[in-house]
Structure 1
Amino acid sequence: MAADIPIIDAHIHLYPESEVDTLAWCAPDHPLRKQHSLDEYKAASAGSAPRGFIFLETDRKNDLAAGERDGSGWEHPLMEVAWLKRIATGQPKPGEGHAAEDAPLCAAYVPWAPLPSGAAVVERYLDLVEKEAGESWPKVRGFRYLLQDKPSGTMLTDKFVESLKLLGRRGFVFDLGVDQHNRGRAQLEEVVEMIDRAHDGVPEDQRVTFIINHMCKPDLSIYNVQTSPSFIAWRTAIFTLSKCSRTYMKLSGAFPEMPESLRQRSAEDIFDAIAPWLSVVLAAFGAGRIMFASDWPVCTAGGVGDGAWAKWKAVVDRLCWMASLEDDERRMIWAGTALKAYGIEEA
């Protein structure tokens, strides 16, 4: 990788020790149940020193019904917005693991939003996010409602589609998190239908942009991809999704989908093992619509450890080298695609 190519890490999670109890997934014995703030992130990525990052919501506890009724179910997601405001504006509380000079690192952030509740409710929620975000509001570039573990059909309800159309009209992206490994081809088929419905009848300049997380979480334990129904279904879906307008893909989230024995190996061995998946993503979306993303600190779990960020960077770097990408294509993968997809203006 050329030394002068900057990095924007397009997918990280941060949370302070004081708020771990608000994380919906963080059981008392969870290995990530400790502070993960900028001090830790900067240490993990120290060898490359990214120019900036894009924060993704961390699935805080929420109650859709209470949110629709009086907003009380949105307490913890709005608390997360307040946390990101402190980071983005350089106003840390003592012990939170970041400093005033870290503020420029936050290129953008993507909070949670109650998309199943419908456009009218989401509009009310956006007003509260804008109020909570204050001067950091311009850095809110999109929203996410994690679909990977939700019941089948959630993303195809009229209310969900209405909410997506609202985000498009307001100029926000939707970060799409689904899981082919555990949910199978049916969930990816729903995604294609959802995108079609969200864009149906909408002028091109008002269509919501979809930024797909983690390559749709394919099963990276497959040995013979030529005959695997799972791989073939995933590959078909990736090429179909790439043909949808306003779709981008994150090169991220691979470690949790690998066998533990593979996670422990070198970046070169990992690249060799998952090259079929990386090659499909690159062929389908091209360098101009894929982006480097570490998924830190999730990438450190499952025995990968503190070297996970550097190891994943080395895998993506090897992809660029093996594909003989030109410097302008590499610049897109390492930063340009994220800036374009999220509508971030460089300082």
Structure 2
Amino acid sequence: MPEDNTTLNRAYGPADLAPHLAAAGIDATILVQAAPSIAESEYMLGIADATPHVAAVTGWVDFENAAHQDALARLAGHPKFRGVRPMIQDIPDDDWMLREDVRWGFDAITALGLRFEALGFPRHIDNFLTIFTRHPEMKVVIDHCMKPQIAAPDETAFQQWADGMARLARETSAFCKFSALITEAHADWQTEDLRPYAEHVITAFGAERVMWGSDWPVCRLAGEYNEWRAAALELTAGCSDAERRAIYGGTAQNFYDLDL
């Protein structure tokens, strides 16, 4: 993040989030890593220990360092540690996840009963399909609907994304986070700009495999917590009560194995 980004280059803590959760009627939340360091994972677990409404943490380990297997096992021993997210969107090599030297990471996540959070772009879909197929027992959630190209709509790009997401939904057991659509849109986004993407994900995966996420505080680059929440509720107004209960809590509770 550029040093002059005043929105995100400041400290955020549980006290900043609490009013948003209360206003939305949300009882619990998941912390997901934002920096590639074990120190941050440990820091977030410390927050979770001190904050009842933080139900779980997704952290990070270095897949390029097999010695981190011990660190992963140690993190997995914490009752609120649930998964790992390598920052694949920031890795220049799109085929990084296919390298033999990082395979231990996927094997360890599976063996420890943890979750893998897939953070990438539409160009990564084929490789994610390979990884998910290679590790069928690994619990997977696709972050941010795989970040479709919303800011500059392109029919070909949309169809490639849609087809790829449909394959992931059909051929794997992956879940999908209904999140971050506003940060992938243009600055003057409207709820209707997001509708084709939201409807496709919910149709392809089904509500039982879709979970809403705030992406807060990163969402503040495009809108406040309540603005994204309101847009999401409008986009899912046509869902049944049972589907909305899944999208706004039940799916996450099931996926992250939360005892709430």
Matched with 2:43 is 83
Indicate the SS of the match to 1:288: helix
Alignment pair present for 1:315 and 2:231? yes
Q: Which has the higher contact order (CA 8 A, sep 6+)?
A: 1
* Cα pair 1:195 1:244 within 8 Å, conserved: no
Matched with 1:242 is 169
Superposed displacement of residue 245, structure 1: 3.1
Q: Supply the distance in 2 between the matched residues of 1:232 and 1:160 (Cα, whole angstroms).
A: 31
* Cα pair 1:162 1:198 within 8 Å, conserved: no
Superposed displacement of residue 339, structure 1: 1.0
- Larger Rg computed on CA atoms: 1
Indicate the SS of the match to 1:43: helix
Matched with 1:109 is 57
Indicate the SS of the match to 2:236: helix
Alignment pair present for 1:337 and 2:251? yes
Superposed displacement of residue 222, structure 1: 4.2
Query: Which amino acid counterpart does residue 160 of structure 2 have in structure 1?
Result: A
* Cα pair 2:129 2:172 within 8 Å, conserved: no
What TM-score does the superposition give when structure 1 sets the normalisation length? 0.70
| Alignment counterpart, residue 183 of structure 2, candidates 234, 252, 256 | 256
Q: Supply the distance in 2 between the matched residues of 1:284 and 1:179 (Cα, whole angstroms).
A: 18
Q: Supply the distance in 2 between the matched residues of 1:38 and 1:175 (Cα, whole angstroms).
A: 22
* Cα pair 1:113 1:122 within 8 Å, conserved: yes
Indicate the SS of the match to 1:291: strand
Provide Cα deviations, 1:289-318, integer angstroms capped at 9, x if missing partner: 00010000000014x3xxx21111112211
Give the aligned length: 258
| Alignment counterpart, residue 229 of structure 1, candidates 153, 156, 159 | 156
Provide Cα deviations, 1:80-120, integer angstroms capped at 9, x if missing partner: 23322332222xxxxxxxxxxxx2201100111112334xx
Matched with 1:177 is 119
Alignment pair present for 1:124 and 2:70? yes
Q: Supply the distance in 2 between the matched residues of 1:138 and 1:45 (Cα, whole angstroms).
A: 22
What TM-score does the superposition give when structure 2 sets the normalisation length? 0.92
Q: % of aligned pairs identical?
A: 24
Cα 1:244–1:173 change in 2 (3 A) is farther
Query: Which amino acid counterpart does residue 81 of structure 2 have in structure 1?
Result: V
Provide Cα deviations, 1:13-56, integer angstroms capped at 9, x if missing partner: xxxxxxxxxxxx4x431221111111111234442141011000
Alignment pair present for 1:297 and 2:257? no
Query: Which amino acid counterpart does residue 236 of structure 2 have in structure 1?
Result: C
Indicate the SS of the match to 1:260: coil
* Cα pair 1:116 1:157 within 8 Å, conserved: no
Q: Supply the distance in 2 between the matched residues of 1:327 and 1:191 (Cα, whole angstroms).
A: 32
Matched with 2:109 is 167
Q: Supply the distance in 2 between the matched residues of 1:341 and 1:156 (Cα, whole angstroms).
A: 25
Superposed displacement of residue 261, structure 1: 1.9
Q: Supply the distance in 1 between the matched residues of 2:171 and 2:113 (Cα, whole angstroms).
A: 18
Indicate the SS of the match to 2:35: coil
Matched with 1:215 is 145
Name stretches of at least 5 consecutive residues in structure 1 with no aligned partner. Answer: 1-24, 61-76, 91-102, 200-206, 263-269
Q: Supply the distance in 2 between the matched residues of 1:116 and 1:339 (Cα, whole angstroms).
A: 31
Query: Which amino acid counterpart does residue 9 of structure 2 have in structure 1?
Result: R
Matched with 1:29 is 4
Indicate the SS of the match to 1:47: helix
* Cα pair 2:33 2:60 within 8 Å, conserved: yes
Q: Supply the distance in 2 between the matched residues of 1:177 and 1:210 (Cα, whole angstroms).
A: 11
* Cα pair 1:161 1:198 within 8 Å, conserved: no
* Cα pair 1:173 1:211 within 8 Å, conserved: yes
